Amino acid sequence: MRLEIDPYDRSYILYNIGLIHTSNGEHTKALEYYFRALERNPFLPQAFNNMANIFASHFGQLAIIFLWTSGNLFHVAWQGNFESWVQDPLHVRPIAHAIWDPHFGQPAVEAFTRGGAPGPVNIAYSGVYQWWYTIGLRTNEDLYTGALFLLFISAISLIAGWLHLQPKWKPSVSWFKNAESRLNHHLSGLFGVSSLAWTGHLLHVAIPASRGEYVRWNNFLNVLPHPQGLGPLFTGQWNLYAQNPDSSSHLFGTSQGAGTAILTLLGGFHPQTQSLWLTDMAHHHLAIAFIFLIAGHMYRTNFGIGHSMKDLLDAHVPPGGRLGRITIRNRMRIMYWQEC
């Protein structure tokens, strides 16, 4: 028995993994009954419609996440003491935000007035100060810039979510069945490009800042991450990027004990910060970017490169015997539970 339907349909996939094509007549009849019942399910069109709604809601979720992170940056820049903390991270207590509570009496005001603030405040224990300092942020202007950028991304995500809820722009069922494009997008676009972008930030901003050099858009093209620039990359002498790493006596944020390496595999933790070495992080993210940019070409889309999901399913040898019967039974139960 063979179901002549969309090769990406659930029935066709089940056929290829041995859930329909079986010599056991009992299982074949059970599957036929299951698919007939599934076709008569009045909630099936609504289920496909819900797929599009869930997809659009992901943009709304991203909008909330970006808005939340933007708020963290904004409140610290507005009511915190980030610039003071940067000057002496070991002794200045980081402020999360001010407390505006009319119910506070004088004893409460005095108890919560800390970190050199003029009024009651909450101390930040989340580690955002340390994280922002590590990735190269140094001023309130940096925090405001980051907050505005994330607010812009949040607005774009919200508009994209609304747009994909409109009938004209709502994705079709066939769009969701295009597994190859979806895999390529997530592997290359999401993981590969984002990891490469983060590597660029670490190399051009975070690592120079850890060595006392302030890099922003106005001097971005004038400050080389490595003294030899792109020379070792094009000549194949990549090992030069790992030579002369920061010493164990390197004072973070200054040039004292700083090296010139940008991509290392030192292992362990920085003895002063008890954190991973920034040059190790950059090396890690660059490797991740390289792997996923290649992995994004594993599945065939417009350019004829990579595998076809249909070919993979056609070439699959289904399990037989007792294992085959157990597989059929378990898969049918899982599918039934998913549809309920």
Per-residue pLDDT of the chain (340 residues; tens, 9 = 90+): 444 444 444 444 444 444 444 444 444 555 555 555 555 555 555 555 677 777 778 889 999 999 999 999 999 999 999 999 999 998 899 998 888 877 888 888 878 887 777 888 888 999 999 999 999 999 999 999 999 999 999 999 999 989 888 888 887 777 777 778 888 888 888 899 999 999 999 999 999 999 999 998 888 888 899 999 899 999 999 999 999 999 988 889 999 999 999 999 998 888 888 889 999 999 999 999 999 999 888 888 777 787 777 777 777 777 767 777 777 777 777 766 655 5
Q: State pTM to two decimals.
A: 0.76
CB 339 within 8 A of CB 38: yes
Count helices and strands (H / E) in the chain. 15, 2
* Residue in this structure with the two tokens 């797929």, named with its chain if needed: 51
The predicted pLDDT at position 324 comes to 74
Distance CA 24, CA 275 (A): 59
Check residue 95 and report its DSSP letter: E
Please state, as a whole number, how many other Cβ atoms lie within 10 Å of the Cβ of residue 23. 8
